[in-house]
Chain A
């Protein structure tokens, strides 16, 4: 089982696919749920506190707007935690919209910078492409078991 970071980070479909193949999706929804249900956050649904943009400084310099840094405070640790990644480009809003373009650029860059299995594909435009899309994701997720198995053997 691998921890898989998905992009868009709030895609329910990607999250579901990752889960169906026995892996753990690292998704925005989970993190936001943790935030709004954790005792101590002032008034749910409070996504970002005043401290978050400061934590985001780890991923983006101070000149980067506070909104990007605040988002990165949530996304950044997920990328660090990831063992594999799936990036879907050119996706419509309904597939999982991440509203801030600058955060998206940085998120994709940081995922790509990690040395880990990564699948990048474009959002399908018709049924055939849709089937191919799901097939590729499925094959990738299956391959993670093998990669994971090999690395576990190597460490033993």
Chain B
């Protein structure tokens, strides 16, 4: 990774150097061969920036943040991407950070991430985000790729499940989907399933792409040409499968361990957010709900569609409290249908409250990841946002499909 060009990332913050996290920011930047740059400004700008920008922030450091954002937009600071950050729990910074993010997104084509840190933020937490930022800046030509060509494979080593696909001339000819236990063993099993279905041998594959939590390990093991984080890969996979490669789209990926909400433009992510405060907002909670209800995860969706979420008071802000609500409601006599519906609604509500505030939701809204196959989830999301939710075919395979698609760029090279 480090033999690639250095990416200059503007650090637009209100003083992260005082929060004890700066070493981590520097460390993650250097691990993806990025350089943090502080956009320079004229000191006089600070006198009027509140009025100019429109937010008369009491904090001078937040005014500095707005001035730096303006310097980036006006090209006074030559950068490839922007990382906006401030302290978690600062109300004024939360307001300014959000508007600065919107401002840069509106007035420039630079990829932007915003993040609120605690004193415990580590480089590992930031890695996927920073990697995505540099990938967008560095591989725009690759991300613009709309068709898969040749014979390629993609493997998505997720936290809960591992998916693999084999694609030939823009078509999926084989796929595999197994639980993630030992990362390499599970990837091998999923890959073998896909190869068998496709009727091809591993040595025939022209290029392999890997993504997901285990991407580095399996990428090295299989000699992948492309090892890439899931933000850019999943965006590409989602718009490819939904056949919406041009224009705006919003991708929501409910994963086993975390969720991603990504605002996509012509297949390239602009703003994105990763997270979920706790596993209570992810596919893991749905998995546990299915187990508690004594049904297979594949049956949970049909159950949820029949239920009324209003009948159950469910709070899955934390997975422990979520399970507690679930047990309590069953003990009070709630039906499994209502509990299943409430679980789906609870997960979606958290994504809405915690994550969708960080991206501008533009239609079409593409829901992907294993959880999208649980019918109650797209239903609850559609009801909450009052928009039509698009679940493309093979929506659980987006990471693998995106990898195979992008890896085909290396076949032509």
Contact = CB atoms under 8 A, between A and B. Distances in A.
Interface in A100-125: 101-102, 105-106, 108-109, 112-113
Contacts of A112: 54
A112 B53 CA distance: 9
B386 interface: no
B353 A57 contact: yes
Interface stretch (B88-96, B201-209, B227-235): B88-96
B118 to A, nearest CB: 12
A60 B90 CA distance: 13
Interface in A12-34: none
B99 interface: yes
Interface residues of B, number: 20
B102 to A, nearest CB: 9
A54 interface: yes
B55 interface: yes
Interface string B53-90: 11111100000000000000000000000000000110
A147 interface: no
A26 B401 CA distance: 52
B394 interface: no
Most interface-central of A64, A105, A108, A112 (chain B CB within 10 A): A105
Given A60-B98, A61-B98, A102 B92 contact: yes
B58 A101 contact: yes
A65 interface: yes
B116 interface: yes
A61 B358 contact: yes
A63 B92 contact: no
Contact of A106 (B53, B89, B95): B95
A113 B54 contact: yes
A64 B353 contact: no
B354 interface: yes
A126 to B, nearest CB: 24
Given A57-B353, A57-B357, A109-B99, A64 B54 contact: no
Contacts of B54: 108-109, 112-113
A112 B55 CA distance: 9
A65 B353 CA distance: 13
Contacts of B91: 63-65, 68, 102
Contacts of B56: 105, 108
Most interface-central of A54, A60, A101, A109 (chain B CB within 10 A): A109
A25 B321 CA distance: 46
B116 A63 contact: yes
A105 B55 contact: yes
Nearest to B58: A101
21 contacts: A57-B352, A57-B353, A57-B357, A60-B94, A60-B95, A60-B98, A61-B98, A61-B357, A61-B358, A62-B354, A63-B88, A63-B116, A64-B95, A101-B58, A102-B95, A105-B58, A108-B55, A109-B55, A109-B99, A112-B54, A113-B54
Interface of B: 53-58, 88-89, 91-92, 94-95, 98-99, 116, 352-354, 357-358
Given A68-B95, A101-B58, A102-B91, 4 more contacts: A60-B357, A61-B94, A62-B353, A102-B92
Interface of A: 54, 57, 60-65, 68, 101-102, 105-106, 108-109, 112-113
